[in-house]
Amino acid sequence: LAKTTQPISMDSYEGQEVNITCSHNNIATNDYITWYQQFPSQGPRFIIQGYKTKVTNEVASLFIPADRKSSTLSLPRVSLSDTAVYYCLVEDSSASKIIFGSGTRLSIRP
């Protein structure tokens, strides 16, 4: 299983764009990259998933370079409610288990 490395924490302000980068140097050809958000005392919530280039949905964008050894989650115009822990995961194509890394604790200030 590919390991992921993320910054432990990040701070930003309301209305700013936040980019969280994740490294996954050993990603395999069939692996997908998925980001989850977790609030205290809640289960993780799916944000976005991608394989290569760029993926965008109503809450975030995911940028993946050609070598796929890293990915960047972009949150546009964050608000206080975006304060949470964000996990970058590499999911095995066989749909077997996934391992959570340490995550990035994002704090948004007024």
Partner 1 sequence: GAVVSQHPSWVICKSGTSVKIECRSLDFQATTMFWYRQFPKQSLMLMATSNEGSKATYEQGVEKDKFLINHASLTLSTLTVTSAHPEDSSFYICSARDSGRLSYEQYFGPGTRLTVT
What is the bridge-based pairing of β-strands 9-13 and 104-109?
parallel
Q: Which is nearer to partner 1, 44 or 73 (CB)?
A: 44
Query: How far is residue 29's CA from residue 69's CA, in Å, rounded to a whole number?
Result: 11
Total interface residues for partner 1 by CB under 8 A: 22
The pattern of x and - marking residues 44 through 73 that bind partner 1 according to CB under 8 A reads xxx--x------------------------
For residue 23, count CB atoms less than 10 angstroms from its CB and return exposed for 0-12, middle for 13-18, buried for 19 or more.
Answer: middle
CB of 42 to partner 1, least distance (A): 6
Q: Which is nearer to partner 1, 81 or 110 (CB)?
A: 81
Q: What angle do CA 105, 35, 13 make, to 5 degrees?
A: 40
Q: Report if residue 96 touches partner 1, rule: CB under 8 A.
A: yes
